[in-house]
Amino acid sequence: MAGEQPEATFDGKAFSRRLPTGPGVYLMRDDNGSVLYVGKAGNLRKRVSSYFDARPKVDRIMRMVAQIASIEFSHTRSEGEALLLENQWIKSHRPRYNVLLRDDKSYPWVMLSTDHAFPRIAFHRGARDPGKTYLGPYPSASSVRESINLIQKIFQVRNCEDSYFAHRSRPCLQHQIKRCTAPCVGLVSEQDYAGQVDNALLFLRGESQKVIRRLIQRMDAAAQAQEYEMAATYRDQINALKSMQAQQFVSGGRGDIDILAAAVAEGRACVQLVSFRGGRNIGQKSFFPAHVESRDESEVLDAFLGQYFRERVPPAQLILSHPVEGRALFEEVFSERAGKAVTIQPRPRGARRQWRDQALQNARSALQMSLSGGSRIARQFKALQQLLALEDEISSLECFDISHTAGGETVGACVVFDASGPVKSRYRRYNLKGITPGDDYAAMEQVLRRRYRKHAEGEGIVPGLVLIDGGQGQLGRAEAVLAEHGLAEVPLLGIAKGAARKAGFEQWLRAGDGEPLQPGPESPASHLVQQVRDEAHRFAITGHRGRRQKRVVKSTLEEVPGIGAGRRRALLTHFGGLKGVRKAGIEELASVPGISAALAKRIFKALH
């Protein structure tokens, strides 16, 4: 790297005249040595001199130029090399005037432990073991979990830890719900299991048609051998794959495509990414780049492309909502990295245009939500994510609470919140049975098992965080249940009452971490957890009171000879509950269809 020592007053015009005319990357610093901006150029002299000429510039550029105390630069052999070096420098220095992709963590993959005799499928993030097989990267953790869920549901590949696998003596729950063929206890041969894994790999690589052809051949062979149960299993797999294709394949293409749509408003931006692999929609994600200010959608996409694909292989097609200035350069660099032609389409037609328009609408909606006053809870979600040091955004959280009176009529409750607030359509109550009265640990375990059994069967939405209203005992039960249902990677947080037993002074207990957190009553994250916990408590106690009242009503009226379920229901409906029945006179009771005068007298006598 060549450089220029800072002077009392930096002379940008004189400096730029001494620059070479070839391609390269330049870096601007202020008088404290902090990096202001990193840029690339096909002609370094021409590009850098443009900052110091007399042409009018936007306020952002004027402010930046006024702070320049020195400029450093590096020659490159080509513009493509300059593009790669520029994004490496941006990642290293994170300059204040560059558009920054703030989501700069490692990205999730689907991992198959193909170095094991019976490979497991799992979520993976971080360094990759060359002995294992990785598919991805995926745009979000939820899209990885969805793919793992599909693989388990269709191909029954195990997802348990190797230590758990090695010590099984009988099949676990995953086998019972037909999501694993139980290789741990020898219910499937190594050869047959290898076929399951091979089909799963083909499916994840977008070759589902090849998988279907294989399964049809095996189904026919099994039917001819009169192995009808095995043939029916293959048939179910074929139907599941075809059903999935009908839902996720869209007309116009079955290749690898990323759709990127940008929206800009009020100095902020959102980039919506939608990914297709092998024609299958593997998920979408919203990004909110920093340092946008006066830039337009094309400039945001230009910066996003370089940073997002710095460490990942681009798909064959990129569909953009707005054209970018360096389109040809991006295509050249991305094609070299991918080892195949990569095309960028800013003006797609047909179905691709509809996908782009939908992604653009989603980007605008996400940006508007972020800008609106209702984004308070979204900021609280972000604060909670940062406080817990979670890599993934918390897409939704579920909170569990138990309510009972002296151990009787125990009710478990689950409430769900996302960044827009409570999601009441996903609330659930559970009437708990078969537990020792007052055993809150067993009650919590039963609620979690019933809740996440649906998830294990592929019918639920995996939360980004699970809150348990309770201490270390409840948290330990929750950790065991989630691990058993293949959800060990879902973060867990126990909310225990603090010494003062006041709202805002609770202790937060984390699974696997002995040191509790005490964020305090001023923390936005604490406000969110209090709101969610209070809502879970309200929902649980409402259900408990209803169940208790129902028992009281049922036992009181059932004691009256001649009152069965139908007449009891008619009375309660007519008078609006037991209180109304108690207030009614004999003549009023006799006016209810099915209630005779003699029966009305018996009811009145029983209630008074």
* CATH number of the structural domain spanning residue 406: 3.30.420.340
What's the pLDDT tens digit per position in 122-167?
998 888 888 899 887 777 777 788 888 888 888 899 989 888 888 8
Q: How much is the pLDDT for 118?
A: 94
Structure tokens given for 61: 């550029």
| Number of independent structural domains in the chain | 5
**Residue 315's Cα: distance from chain center in Å?**
22
Beta bridge partners of 344: 318
Domain holding 10: CATH number?
A: 3.40.1440.10
- DSSP, residue by residue, 474-506: HHHHHHHHHHHTT-TTS-EEEEE--TT--TT-P
- Is 98 among the domain residues? no
Q: How much is the pLDDT for 2?
A: 54
Residue 322 · residue 339 · CB < 8 Å? no
123 and 241 fall within a common domain: yes
Give the C-alpha separation, 448 to 438, whole Å: 17
536 and 394 fall within a common domain: yes
398 and 537 fall within a common domain: yes
Q: How much is the pLDDT for 414?
A: 93
Give the C-alpha separation, 479 to 466, whole Å: 10
Indicate the residue among 93, 124, 145 that finishes a domain: 93
- Is 339 among the domain residues? yes
160 and 139 fall within a common domain: yes
Give the C-alpha separation, 587 to 593, whole Å: 12
242 and 261 fall within a common domain: no
Residue 153 · residue 458 · CB < 8 Å? yes
Q: How much is the pLDDT for 455?
A: 72
**DSSP state at residue 374:** G
Give the C-alpha separation, 282 to 315, whole Å: 13
Please report how the helices 376-387 and 524-558 are oriented relative to each other, as an axis angle in degrees rounded to 10.
100
Structure tokens given for 475: 């948290």
CB atoms under 10 Å from CB of 172, counted, come to 19
Domain that holds residue 595: 559-607
320 and 267 fall within a common domain: yes
Element (H, E) at 548: helix 524-558
- Is 551 among the domain residues? no
117 and 215 fall within a common domain: yes
Please give the backbone phi and psi of residue 368, each rounded to the nearest 5 degrees, phi first.
-65, -40
Using the CB atoms, write b or e for 308-322: b if 16+ within 10 Å.
Answer: bbbeeebbbbbbbbb
- The burial of 392, by beta-carbon neighbours within 10 Å (0-12 exposed, 13-18 middle, 19 or more buried), is given as middle
494 and 396 fall within a common domain: yes
Indicate the residue among 200, 216, 248 that finishes a domain: 248
**Distances 540 to 396, 479, 509, 535 between C-alpha atoms, Å:** 19, 21, 22, 8
236 and 116 fall within a common domain: yes
Closest CA to 7 of 40, 43, 28, 31: 31
Q: How much is the pLDDT for 243?
A: 63
192 and 159 fall within a common domain: yes
Q: Which residues in the chain land under pLDDT 70?
A: 1-8, 102-106, 242-254, 372-375, 406-407, 456-459, 499-501, 503-504, 514, 547-556
Domain holding 574: CATH number?
A: 1.10.150.20
Closest CA to 203 of 276, 124, 132, 278: 278
Indicate the residue among 338, 371, 404 that finishes a domain: 371
Instruction: Say whether the peptide bond before residue 137 is cis (omega within 30 degrees of 0).
Output: yes
387 and 528 fall within a common domain: yes
* Rg of the chain (C-alpha set): 31
Residues present in the chain in total: 608
